[in-house]
Amino acid sequence: MALLNGDNGNNIINGTWLADRIRGLNGNDQLFGNAGNDEVFGGLGADTIEGNSGNDRLLGDSEGSQFGGPGNITLGLNTTSQNTTVNNSFTPVVAEFSPTLNVRFDDFTFLTNNDLIRGGTGKDTILGEQGNDRLYGDSGDDRIFGGTGDDSVYGGVGNDVLVGNSGDDEIFGGDGDDNISGVSGNDNIFAGDGNDIADGGSGDDVVRGEAGYDLLSGGLGSDFLSGGENNDRLLGQQDNDTLDGGSGNDELLGGEGDDSISGGIGNDSLSGDLGNDTLEGDWGDDFLTGDEGNDSLNGGDGDDSLNGGDGEDLLNGSVGDDFLDGGDDDDLLNGGDGSDILTGGSGYDILNGGLGNDSLIAGGGSDRISFTFSEMNQEAEFESFGNDTIDSFLRGSNIIDLSDVPLGVFVDDQLRTNFDALDTNDNDILDDGDFNVSVSSSGITINVLGAVDPSQGEFLGGSEATIFVKDVMELDGNDFDFV
């Protein structure tokens, strides 16, 4: 091994074909290792250091140092320098810098290999360019660009800007408020703790916000977005996406495509937008909107508001006091447990109140209203035109209000009532349910099936109302009033 030392001036030192140890000391030096596995130390000053062939270790100590060579380079810098240039290298680079550094690679051709670059403390700018690179910002507010290739980018502590560019990249934001972009490729993004902005870009991406108030977007492709903790905003954008709000009061928008959206824990707002979407409110008082497409909405636990929008939708209120609006087209609404309000909207809708004191509003269109699954008090209202059917089974105080409907509207409508209440042990008739049917228009047909004592209730019909009574045990002319 040759030991070559400069002085405090501006030295030009060329190594031998052996493994050399070269020290530039002070001054703006030009140091060339040549052949062999060399160790080259620039010292103070703006040095130009090239290892050339061999597996070389290059170390600079001051601002403006330049490194290069076609061999395998281990690169280090011990300085407060703001600018360091690496050029003319054609094999992998391993770089570690401290404390504040801007790393710039002049000749991108050398990055066709797999490089390891570590920024250290301070505000670093690192460009990986070609190759499958591992880029570490460590502490400080760093700017890291992966370039082409399948890169691993680590922001570390600080408010970082991290860009994967092309390739299937892994990006880790770490602690801090980070801005992350996968750009293209199938990327895995872990934003880490902090209030982060992360965009998957094109490709089928996985984007996780983790802790903090995050804004996540999938971009093009079928993406998976997870908000994690706190109140997050998730945008699926195009294609078929899966969105999970996690804990917190989140806002989730599916965008185009057939999306699967879950609010998680908290009072969330879910919107399917375009496509045939599946929305799950989960825990909390949630607001679900299907928008366009044939959507499935499930409120979950809590007092939820569900709006199907356009398309043939399925709405389930589940547990809690829910509000369900089918919107346009033919919808199926199930209130579930709790005191619910169901509105059919336009189209042929089916409304099931379920358990609880429910209010069922037919709205426009030909609707079917069912009290079959309830033993509580229920109300049915009609707001506009349509050929409607009301099924009223099991006991309870059921109110059917047609009084506000204009004359001549209910021409082909049917009210079918059955007020039997059976004991599960012996199937004996126990008592009758209370009912009240009020009709201001004419031409309506009312069927009463299996009523034990119709005098328990009251029918108020128009002049042309027709009442059919079957299988009753007691009936006389005083049982009905006609107006």
d(C-alpha 333, C-alpha 348), whole Å? 11
| Cβ-contact 74, 58 below 8 angstroms | yes
- What is the Cβ-side half-sphere exposure of residue 273, based on CA atoms within 13 angstroms? 20
E strands along 123-241, which residues? 125-127, 134-136, 143-145, 152-154, 161-163, 170-172, 179-181, 188-190, 197-199, 206-208, 215-217, 224-226, 233-235
Q: Does the pLDDT of residue 155 top 70, yes or no?
A: yes
- Alpha-carbon span 297 to 257, nearest angstrom: 16
Give the residue-averaged pLDDT of 209-231.
97
SS3 assignment, position 44: coil
Query: HEC states along 177-200?
Result: CCEEECCCCCCEEECCCCCCEEEC
- What's the token pair of residue 50? 């090239």
pLDDT digits over 58-88, tens only? 776 655 555 555 555 555 555 444 445 554 4
99 upstream amide cis, omega within 30 of 0: yes
As a whole-number percent, the residues of the chain with pLDDT over 90 amount to 42
More confident residue, 54 or 381: 54
CA distances from 303 to 282, 323, 324, 339, 361 (A): 11, 8, 11, 10, 18
Residue with more model confidence, 437 or 11: 11
Give residue 70's pLDDT: 56
Residue 324 pLDDT > 60: yes
Q: Indicate the SS3 state at residue 313.
A: coil
pLDDT over 90 (residue 278): yes
pLDDT of residue 345: 82
- Sorted by where each begins, the domain ranges of the chain are 321-483
Task: Return the SS3 of 221.
Answer: coil
Give mean pLDDT, residues 417-444. Answer: 38
